Amino acid sequence: MAREHGFMLRKAKEEATHLMTAAEEALAAELNLSGGTAWAKLHSDFTSQLMVTLELDGEVQELPMSAVRNLAYDPDREVRRRAYEAEVATWRSAEVPIAAAINSIKGQVNALAERRAWDSPLDAALFQNNIDRQTLDAMMEAAHESFPDFRRYLRAKARALGLPVLAWYDIFAPVGKSAKAWSFEEADQFIIRQFGTFSPKLRGLAERAFGERWIDAEPRPGKVDGAFCMWLREDESRILANYKAAYNGMSTLAHELGHAYHNLNLASRTVLQRRTPMTLAETASIFCQTIVRQAALEKAAIPEQISILEASLQNACQVVVDITSRFLFEQNVFEKRKQRELSAAELKKLLLDAQGQTYGDGLDPDTYHPYMWAVKSHYYSTGRSFYNYPYMFGLLFGLGLYACYQDDPQRFKAGYDDLLSSTGMGNAAELAARFGIDIQTPDFWRSSLDVVRADIERFESLIAPQ
Answer yes or no: are the C-beta atoms of 399 and 241 closer than 8 Å. no
Residues 86-105: x/- map of binding to Zn ion (CB under 5 A)? Answer: --------------------
Residues 6+ positions from 353 with CB-CB distance below 8 Å? 328, 332
Residues 6 or more apart whose CB falls under 8 angstroms from that of 225 comprise 219, 242
Residue 255 Cβ vs Zn ion, minimum distance, rounded to whole Å: 6
Asked if 444 and 437 touch (Cβ cutoff 8 Å), the reply is yes
Contact region with Zn ion (CB under 5 A), list: 111-119, 281-289, 320-328, 335-343: 281-289
Smallest CA-to-CA distance from 142 within 435, 408, 419, 400 is with: 400
Nearer to Zn ion, 259 or 369 (CB): 259
CB atoms within 10 A of CB 311: 19
How far is it, in rounded angstroms, from Cα 244 to Cα 318? Answer: 22
Least separation in angstroms between CB 226 and Zn ion? 11
Query: Please, which residue, 263 or 285, has the CB nearer to Zn ion?
Result: 285
Q: Cβ 259 to Zn ion, closest distance in Å? A: 6
Q: CA 265, CA 138: separation in Å to the nearest integer?
A: 28
Nearest distance, CB of residue 143 and Zn ion, angstroms: 20
Among the listed ranges 109-117, 160-168, 278-286, 404-412, the one in contact with Zn ion (CB under 5 A) is 278-286
Part in contact with Zn ion (CB under 5 A); list of ranges 262-270, 284-292, 430-438, 452-460: 284-292
Q: Which amino acid is at 465?
A: P
Beta carbon nearer to Zn ion, 38 or 281:
281
The burial of 424, by beta-carbon neighbours within 10 Å (0-12 exposed, 13-18 middle, 19 or more buried), is given as: buried
Name which of 285 and 385 has its Cβ closer to Zn ion.
285
Is residue 285 a contact residue for Zn ion (CB under 5 A)? yes
Nearer to Zn ion, 263 or 324 (CB): 263
Q: Shortest gap between Cβ of 230 and Zn ion (angstroms)?
A: 12
Compute the C-alpha angle 103/108/114, nearest 5°.
125
- Of the pair 105, 319, the CB lying nearest Zn ion is at 319
Which residue type occupies 204? G
Query: 400 or 442, CB closer to Zn ion?
Result: 400
Q: Give the whole-angstrom CA distance, residue 389 versus residue 369.
A: 20
Nearer to Zn ion, 101 or 280 (CB): 280
Contact stretch for Zn ion (CB under 5 A) within 52-60, 262-270, 277-285, 321-329:
277-285
Stretch that binds Zn ion, among 7-15, 21-29, 280-288, 437-445 (CB under 5 A): 280-288
Residues 6+ apart with CB under 8 A from 38: none
Complex with Zn ion: residue 285 or 423, whichever CB lies closer: 285
C-beta of 368 vs 391, nearer to Zn ion: 391
Task: Report the C-alpha gap between 299 and 33 in whole angstroms.
Answer: 55
Residue 202 C-beta: closest distance to Zn ion, Å: 16
Cite the DSSP H helix spans in 220-276: 247-266
Stretch that binds Zn ion, among 60-68, 178-186, 282-290, 453-461 (CB under 5 A): 282-290
- State the minimum distance, in angstroms, from the CB of residue 260 to Zn ion: 11
Single out the segment in contact with Zn ion by CB under 5 A; choices: 22-30, 128-136, 243-251, 279-287: 279-287
Supply the minimum distance, in Å, between the C-beta of residue 399 and Zn ion.
Answer: 14
- Which residue in the shown chain puts its C-beta closest to Zn ion? 285
What gap in Å lies between CA 69 and CA 127, rounded to an integer? 34
CA distances from 169 to 72, 356, 422 (A): 6, 16, 42
Q: How far is the CB of 282 from Zn ion (least distance, A)?
A: 5
For residue 58, the minimal CB distance to Zn ion (Å) is 41
Alpha helices in 199-318 (DSSP H): 200-211, 247-266, 278-281, 283-299, 302-317
State which residue, 237 or 285, has the beta carbon closest to Zn ion: 285
Q: How far is the CB of 241 from Zn ion (least distance, A)?
A: 12
Backbone angles phi, psi at 429, to 5 degrees: -65, -40
Hey, which bits of 21-131 come out as E strands? 51-56, 59-64
In the three-class reduction of DSSP (H, G, I as helix; E, B as strand; rest coil), residue 216 is classed as strand
Per the CB < 8 A criterion, the answer to whether 328 and 357 are in contact is yes
Count of residues that bind Zn ion according to CB under 5 A = 1
Contact set with Zn ion (CB under 5 A): 285
